[in-house]
Amino acid sequence: MKPVASPSTQLSLFGERASPRLSKSRYAAGVQCHKLLWWKVHEPRALELQPDKVLQDRFDQGAQVGGLARGRFPGGVLIDLPYNAFAERLQATRAALDATEPVIFEASFVADDTYVAIDVLERLERGFRLIEVKSSSSQKEEHIPDAAVQAHVARRNGVDVRSVEILHLNKAFRFPDQGDLFARTDVTPAVEQLLPGIPVQLAAHLDMLRGPLPDVPIGLHCFTPRDCPFLARCWPQAPDHIMKLYNVGPKKACDYMLTGVHTIGQIPPKQKLPDAAQRQIRALQENRLIVEPRLKAALEPFTGRLGFLDFETISRAVPVWPGMAPWEQAAAQFSYHEAREDGTYRHVSYLAEGPQDARPPLARAMLEATADAERVVMYTPFERTRIRSLQVAVPELANDLKALEDKLIDLHPVIRDHVYHPDFQGSFSLKYVLHPLVPELTYNDLVIVDGLVASVEIARLLFVAQRIPPEERDRVRQDLLDYCERDTWAMVKLLERLRELVAAT
Ligand code: SF4
């Protein structure tokens, strides 16, 4: 190992500041966009940067995966100090290196005003292996710069990094013990390729941070490798902005913008577009609800004794129930409305309780609730996918679940292919179509209004209930029940509204 500056000398390089200016996450932010990095550093308390429940859950799951990954290296030494105790962490790392520890977790280094804590630093016969732990179920492109900046800083500290690996979850693993939970991908060549450019990038980041907010135009980088938290600050929010075109996506929207098309109205008339996008253009031009005459025929299959079904799911990095893969979604809640002959509706709901496998009791409750329905209405094929998964997870009910699957009928394409209201904003998700079509009904009065939040809250109730005060537990349970019920009631009211639209034509 080459001689390196002592930790206290390294920290004195930061002048008056007590901490280095960059970290690996700030480096990655700067690679995505200088404006994003500037805000992260100069406006760390910005609302957009505060982790919401979903992001916090992602962090918590990442920490769980990190802990399990450490278990694969028995005898490893953890630099177990607060993240911002920089000098102490550098000192402890240096001590562990001097003691020739075979494996160091969270080995911490600073160079070029950049601080990194390496998940696993493994001593090899010659040199070291740097291992970055990720909770994703595959190695992704965005992991390379992340690992490369760590390798750069470690090498600048005299650590001879010979090999770089990403230790990620293995999508072939099945709970409880089928296969290995982790898979390793060697990324050394890709990291080596990036390394020569890193000092220049770090210098550019630091230089930019010394100046005012940089003027960075919006573009595809706002969504790559992940959606920037400042999208609402930088992107126009006008209802006719090209990003609001149905099914456009960031890539096509940016292509339009490069040709000078920034609003839906500027799209050349001869441009080939999906029917729904053409209907959207007409609705915006005429500022009215468009209803296709074919809607009547599309509604014909929605007859007989109708039920309306919606699931909420859990999705855990480390699977929790038999046969589940990392991040696999599993149904843990449903809401069901069924039309009675007198025009009223009965409602049945199920929400799992406790950490045990919820799928068998959920499947039984759902089959019982839907037994009399002739058709069961869903919104998007999500419910079909979940029922198919249940056929595998609860094989003793597979035949009955298949029969239920055969009753499913999707309301989403009926709206997408026949109706457009200017307020849909290019989306046909329930949250976007409900209020424009059924003005008396919204999600605004609910605490939970989003499937991702619902998923995180269900997981919290099932797996860490003991850490939640009982009154909060009851409240969250009720919030979840209200949210799922609203989804099926929304389908009921949407179908009623569509029938009214047909009757009015
Ligand atoms: S929205 Fe785009 S331009 Fe604005 S900070 Fe984010 S990445 Fe940069």
Q: What is the pLDDT of residues 46-73, one digit of tens each?
A: 999 999 999 999 999 999 999 999 999 9
Residue 502's pLDDT is 97
Q: Which atom of ligand 1 is nearest to the CA of 216?
A: 3
Provide the b/e sequence for 351-379 (b: ≥16 CB within 10 Å).
bbeeeebbbeebbebbbebbeebebbbbb
Report DSSP letters for 356-386, one per residue. Answer: S--HHHHHHHHHHHHTT-SEEEESSTHHHHH
- Could you tell me which of 383, 381, 398 has the C-alpha nearest to residue 336? 383
Please provide the average confidence, as pLDDT, over all residues in the chain: 95
Q: Which two tokens stand for residue 90?
A: 């550098």
Query: Ligand 1 pocket check: which of 41, 233, 234 to mutate, most ligand atoms within 8 Å of Cβ?
Result: 234
User: Distance between CA atoms of 402 and 387, rounded to whole angstroms?
Assistant: 8
Q: Predicted confidence band at 1 (pLDDT cuts at 50, 70, 90)?
A: very low
Long-range CB contact pairs, 120-128, < 8 A, 24+:
120/69, 120/70, 120/73, 120/76, 120/167, 121/154, 121/159, 122/73, 124/162, 124/163, 126/160, 126/162, 127/160, 127/161, 127/162, 127/163, 128/154, 128/159, 128/160, 128/161, 128/162, 128/163
| Pocket flag, ligand 1, residue 222 (CB < 6 Å) | yes
Residue 505's pLDDT is 81
Q: Predicted confidence band at 14 (pLDDT cuts at 50, 70, 90)?
A: very low
Q: Predicted confidence band at 17 (pLDDT cuts at 50, 70, 90)?
A: low
**Å from CA of 108 to ligand 1 middle:** 30
| Pocket flag, ligand 1, residue 37 (CB < 6 Å) | no
Q: Which atom of ligand 1 is nearest to the CA of 221?
A: 7
CB contact at 8 A, 188 and 155: no
Residues 6+ apart with CB under 8 A from 128: 121, 122, 154, 159, 160, 161, 162, 163
| Pocket flag, ligand 1, residue 69 (CB < 6 Å) | no
| Pocket flag, ligand 1, residue 221 (CB < 6 Å) | yes
| Pocket flag, ligand 1, residue 452 (CB < 6 Å) | no
Residue 302's pLDDT is 97
Q: Reply yes or no on whether the pLDDT at 18 is more than 90.
A: no
| Pocket flag, ligand 1, residue 254 (CB < 6 Å) | no
Question: Which residue's entry shows tokens 């090498």?
Answer: 155
User: Distance between CA atoms of 402 and 374, rounded to whole angstroms?
Assistant: 14
| Pocket flag, ligand 1, residue 462 (CB < 6 Å) | no
| Pocket flag, ligand 1, residue 491 (CB < 6 Å) | no
Mean pLDDT of 349-368: 97
